[in-house]
Amino acid sequence: MTAAPSQPSAPVEAFRLLIVEDDPLLGKRLQAYCRSQGFAPTLARSLAEARRELGGSVFDGLLLDLNLPDGHGLDLLRDSTLLQSLPTVVMTGEGGIAVAVEAMKAGAADFLAKPFDLDQLPIVLERVHETERLRRSEAFTRSTQSRQGASLFFGDGLAGIRARLDKILAADRSLGEALPPVLIEGETGTGKTTIARWLHHEGPRASGPLIEVNCSALPENLAESELFGHEKGAFTDARSVRIGLFEAAEGGTLFLDEIASLPLPVQAKVLDAVEDRRIRRLGGNRPRPVNFRLIAAANVDLRAEATEGRFRGDLYQRLDLLRIQLPPLRERRNDLLPLAERLAAALFRKYGQKKRPFSAAARRKLLSHPWPGNIRELAHELERSIIFEDAPELTLENLADPASDQPDQQLPFPDWLAPDFQLPQAGFSLERAIRQLIELALRESSGNVSKAARRLGVSRDYLRYRLENRPRKNGE
């Protein structure tokens, strides 16, 4: 066993560690070494001392010798009332591998066979600590996603969507393991992620993981590695084997949001994975079976993208088996007020505030605004009002009131598209209407000039000319 170095070369993030070791010399050396590495160690020399420490203090990890003077470490390991989910590394004497295996079955996260190099401790404990952190994070995420899915508001505007989802769930329960992919299309902010979570948590794979991937956030040169994993040495920085997200979704659901952002070669591999239920890691030769349910989402028309050659047609055909088309919020006028009230109620609970009603002006604003950001924009606007407004009623002061009599007010929504709009006697500004329409197209295209031009039926050059020559606001 090597002596502890005077200066740690790579300090580990400190966490509270209980060391249970009856050998006085080894116990002190372990305690001193762990302290030098940034841990906060406490030493117990028997099961009785360990039980007292665990009963009176909170620890982040446990280093447990199995052969103790007043019993066996396995007795402590099996005591769930004390250890609960405490990450534990067991220490075994020479020839104790069989006992170590038994300890792993009892819940130990790792083991060290004596005599061991003290430099192994930070590596093993950091790995155990990180594994536990990820486990808790995944449990929290799964719980949060389940609550979000359970509170999904369908309303009249999504009655057809709910019926479609019920049919998909009925088919899922009869099909067993091999579930077909689901495609969810809709504008940004219409709730595609929420629908995907609902479908997972209500379906037969609810007990498995839900792995969510925003494909637009994957760097093009790393997308294949992230999704399918890689073998050691597959590329310059591949220093170890890494499983991909398809494998991480084993037994559960893989949700690929904005799937149209994936490079065409990666789309081909996604198709192979869906068709064959096997993947091949980057740099690997052996195909690996995978058991997942794919849900894909897109904020563009995938059929049109496939026609234009920007999305693989064969992958689109495979995804189009079960398709859900979410309508934008501006087409769900009957749902706007009840949806806003439901979202506001959740926000009031979140911030510990007493519930406040919407003012009459706020209701007019809610119904007249186009909501180009859809439900996401609505939720953000409500949150802003709840945080910053202190009036007895919510007024949504950042939204323009369509009943305002200020003729020069720049409305965020072109009021001339409202069903009850009439040309004013004082005249109508066609130039301003064109500017409003351009701004609306840009918002709905996330600022993409080419997409906005296509939606308006004009050339990109025309749109750029209009933007370059638009009147500037103060400060621009």
Write out pLDDT tens, residues 358-413: 999 899 889 888 888 899 899 999 999 999 888 899 999 887 665 554 443 444 45
pTM of the shown model: 0.58
Mean pLDDT of 121-139: 68
- Per-residue pLDDT tens over the stretch 196-206: 999 998 899 88
Alpha helices in 215-257 (DSSP H): 223-228, 245-248
Distance CA 126, CA 214 (A): 29
Q: What is d(CA 77, CA 421) in angstroms, rounded to the nearest whole number? A: 73
- 292-309, pLDDT tens digit by residue? 999 999 999 999 999 999
Beta bridge partners of 325: 185
Q: Which CATH superfamily is domain 151-233+240-327 in?
A: P-loop containing nucleotide triphosphate hydrolases (3.40.50.300)
Copy the structure tokens of residue 119. Answer: 């430099």
Q: Is 352 helix (H, G, I), strand (E, B) or coil?
A: coil
State how far the Cα of 462 lies from the Cα of 476, in Å rounded to an integer. 22
Mean pLDDT (the chain) is 81
User: What would the DSSP string read from start to end of 203-220?
Assistant: STTTTS-EEEEEGGGS-T
Q: Which CATH superfamily is domain 16-133 in?
A: Response regulator (3.40.50.2300)
Please state, in angstroms and as integers, the Cα–Cα distance from residue 96 to each residue in 26, 109, 116, 117, 440, following that order.
18, 16, 13, 17, 71
Cα dihedral 370, 371, 373, 375 in deg (nearest 10) = -150
Higher pLDDT, 49 or 87: 49
| Domain 330-412 class in CATH | mainly alpha
Residue 14: pLDDT above 80?
Answer: no
Cβ neighbours of residue 39 closer than 8 Å, sequence gap 6 or more? 12, 14, 15, 16, 17, 125
The C-alpha atoms of residue 148 and residue 197 are separated, in whole angstroms, by 8
Q: Which of 202, 80, 85 is nearest to 140 (CA)?
A: 85
Quick one: which of 385, 397, 399, 316 has its CA closest to 356?
Answer: 385
Q: How many residues does the chain have?
A: 476
